[in-house]
């Protein structure tokens, strides 16, 4: 085994245990596992810079890590305490190290500064003037960072860490601003009890805000509040339910943005705004939602009496009342589905496999979306909102496809094992498109029948009928253009692009017969090109037929002049 390298003075180089904290080499407290490579680089750079400034906390650390790189630290899976990492990389501590370095260069000597003061001796205590002596910092107990910053008591209550700069700024606004800077609260990783923070910081700041000097309300504030009252009064009388979050956003927008709230008199809070509206509009009431984290809702009971939302808001935990509300909602949704089915029967003639909101009743879609994401919820990104919208649309189409009319429910079949016959009038893009896609990709009859039994798509036999109808529609299109299929998306008077290739099968046979030599031509055109379509969309009229035969159509080969033969 090689000898341990020694530093100047004959002392051995300290080793590093990478299973402990890289900074303090202690196990106490939770460790940050698997840090990122930039974090290793940042730590090494800060240690090197502070050691160059003769920081007493980083000089021995630099000697221990001088041969380490960010790659070796990541390879050895070095870890650290979050507080130790923040203490080393803190910008305030770095600035203090620079100030001490500049001070030492100006005086010609360097004296590292340590926290605290020299303890007084017995003679010093005897020479104190007065009966009790002046209050000095050395006569108090030093701060124990492992206890609560306010009470310094070792109790069983949970301790919280100062993790953000906002918490340090809140301390700066209280009487503790004389003993600690706002940046030190985060750098020293101070701890506190929730009750102590509420007593010494939250209540102090709130009392200072309430007891501050009252200023006259500005003209903009008065006019904005009057306009807000008019909006709330009109919308609640029309039966609207207004969330306090939306009301607050509207009021802040009228004032001119969040910057205007600093000049608001009195100090603006959502509770103040709600109390002010309720005092000015006695007929408007506020109700808390069952989820206490959501804001209150303003509404007018007289305008909303008997409505489903009003019944749901004011309902208790009585199971009977809740079931009555659900039954009324179900009856209303069923009536809307029946009316929607009658309206789409007149629009048949083509197969549509693109789902839109026009394919389902809007009431059904709204109810399912409320069930999935809650009413009046705003998702933070377009992708998340699109996922919820698509899922709600898919479930709505499944409900419409599986809907049973009153005649179907009351009908008594002769065979007790008979099920329901699916109605073609309720076939929507979800049921049709899913069946055609699966049959095209798998040709699996059992899979289609399984999905049909679960109510997701139409049956296998129905899919064959639809494909036959589509094939016949294509044949009708070919007849119009003498054996050439023209897709409906082509526009007149717009450039087109062609791509042709041969399709040869069985080119080499023993007798030279039985070979296939074909040519396929593809046509391209810009999707947003203006112009009139060359041909109308495919007309699928025989979907009610049970025949699976395709109408035959043959086009003779026409020989043109010049000994050229054109194939269509």
Report the DSSP beta bridge partners of residue 148. 191
Q: What's residue 551's pLDDT?
A: 66
- The whole-number pLDDT of residue 447 equals 92
The larger pLDDT score, comparing residue 3 to residue 344, is at 344
Q: What angle do CA 363, 364, 366 make, to 5 degrees?
A: 65
Running DSSP on this structure, what letter comes out for residue 178? G
Length of the chain: 568
Tens of pLDDT, residue by residue over 69-124, are 888 888 888 888 888 888 888 888 888 888 888 877 766 555 554 444 444 444 44
Q: Tally Cβ neighbours within 10 Å of residue 255.
A: 20
In this predicted model, what pLDDT tens digit does every residue of 497-555 receive, in sequence order? Answer: 889 888 777 777 777 777 777 788 888 888 777 888 888 877 776 666 666 666 666 55
Q: How far apart are CA 410 and CA 400, in angstroms?
A: 19
Instruction: Look at residue 240 in the predicted model and tell me its pLDDT.
Output: 83
- φ/ψ of 383, rounded to 5, equals -65, -45
For 246-289, what is each residue's pLDDT tens digit? 899 888 888 888 888 888 888 888 888 999 999 988 889 888 88
Dist CA 445 CA 439 (whole Å): 8
Q: Is the pTM of this model over 0.85?
A: no
Nearest-5° Cα angle at 176, 170 to 181: 70
Least confident window among 166-175, 280-289, 385-394: 166-175
Q: Which residues contact 331 (CB under 8 A, 6 or more apart)?
A: none
Contacts of 219 (CB under 8 A, 6+ apart): none
| DSSP per-residue letters across 522-567 | EEE--TT--S-BSSPPP----TT----PPPP---PPEEETTTEEE-
Cis check for the bond before 266: say yes or no (omega within 30 of 0): yes
- How many C-beta atoms surround the C-beta of residue 552 within 10 A? 6
Structure-block tokens of residue 435: 């069946």
- What are 200's two structure tokens? 């010494």
């Amino acid at each position: 085994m090689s000898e341990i390298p020694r530093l100047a003075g004959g002392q051995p180089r300290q080793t590093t245990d990478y299973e402990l904290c890289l900074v303090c080499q202690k196990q106490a407290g939770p460790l940050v596992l698997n840090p990122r490579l930039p974090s290793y680089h940042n730590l090494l750079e800060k240690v090197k810079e502070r050691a160059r400034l003769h920081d007493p906390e980083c000089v021995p650390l630099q000697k221990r890590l001088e041969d380490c790189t960010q790659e070796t630290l990541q390879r050895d899976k070095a870890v650290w305490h979050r507080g130790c990492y923040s203490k080393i990389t803190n910008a305030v501590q770095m600035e203090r190290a620079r100030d001490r370095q500049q001070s030492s260069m100006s005086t010609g000597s360097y004296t590292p500064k340590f926290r605290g003061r020299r303890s007084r001796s017995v003679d010093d205590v005897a020479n104190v003037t007065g009966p009790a002596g002046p209050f000095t910092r050395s006569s108090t107990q030093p701060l124990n960072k492992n206890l609560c910053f306010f009470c310094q008591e070792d109790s069983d209550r949970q301790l919280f860490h100062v993790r953000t700069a906002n918490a340090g700024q809140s301390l700066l606004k209280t009487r503790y601003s004389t003993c600690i800077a706002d940046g030190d609260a985060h750098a020293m990783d101070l701890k506190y009890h929730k009750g102590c923070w509420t007593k010494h910081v939250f209540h102090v700041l709130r009392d200072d805000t309430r007891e501050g000097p009252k200023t006259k309300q500005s003209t903009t504030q008065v006019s904005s509040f009057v306009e807000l009252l008019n909006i709330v009064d009109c919308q609640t009388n029309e039966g609207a339910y207004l969330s306090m979050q939306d009301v607050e956003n509207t009021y802040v927008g009228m004032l001119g943005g969040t910057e205007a709230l600093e000049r608001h008199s009195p100090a603006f809070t959502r509770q103040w705004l709600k109390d002010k509206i309720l005092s000015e509009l006695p007929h408007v009431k506020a109700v808390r939602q069952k989820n206490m984290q959501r804001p209150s809702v303003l509404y007018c009971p007289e305008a909303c009496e008997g409505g489903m939302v009003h019944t749901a808001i004011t309902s208790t935990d009585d199971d009977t009342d809740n079931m009555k509300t659900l039954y009324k909602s179900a009856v209303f949704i069923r009536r809307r589905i029946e009316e929607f089915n009658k309206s789409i029967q007149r629009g048949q003639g083509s197969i549509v496999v693109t789902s839109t909101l026009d394919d389902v009743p809007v009431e059904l879609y709204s109810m399912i979306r409320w069930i999935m994401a809650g009413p009046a919820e705003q998702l933070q990104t377009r992708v998340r909102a699109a996922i919820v919208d698509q899922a709600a649309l898919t479930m709505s189409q499944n409900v419409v496809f599986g809907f049973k009319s009153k005649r179907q429910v009351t009908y008594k079949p002769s065979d007790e094992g008979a099920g329901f016959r699916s109605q073609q009038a309720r076939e929507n893009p979800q049921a049709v498109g899913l069946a055609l896609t699966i049959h095209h990709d798998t040709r699996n009859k059992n899979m289609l029948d399984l999905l049909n039994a679960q109510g997701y798509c139409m049956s296998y036999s129905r899919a064959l009928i639809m494909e036959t109808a589509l094939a016949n529609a294509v044949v009708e299109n070919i007849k119009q253009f003498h054996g050439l299929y023209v897709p409906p998306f082509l526009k007149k008077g717009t450039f087109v692009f062609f791509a042709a290739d041969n399709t040869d099968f069985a080119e080499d046979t023993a007798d030279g017969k039985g070979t296939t030599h074909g040519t396929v031509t593809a046509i391209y055109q810009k999707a947003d090109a203006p112009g009139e379509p060359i041909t109308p969309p495919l007309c699928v009229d025989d979907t009610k037929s049970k025949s699976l035969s395709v109408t035959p159509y043959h086009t003779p080969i026409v020989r043109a002049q010049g000994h050229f033969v054109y194939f269509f």
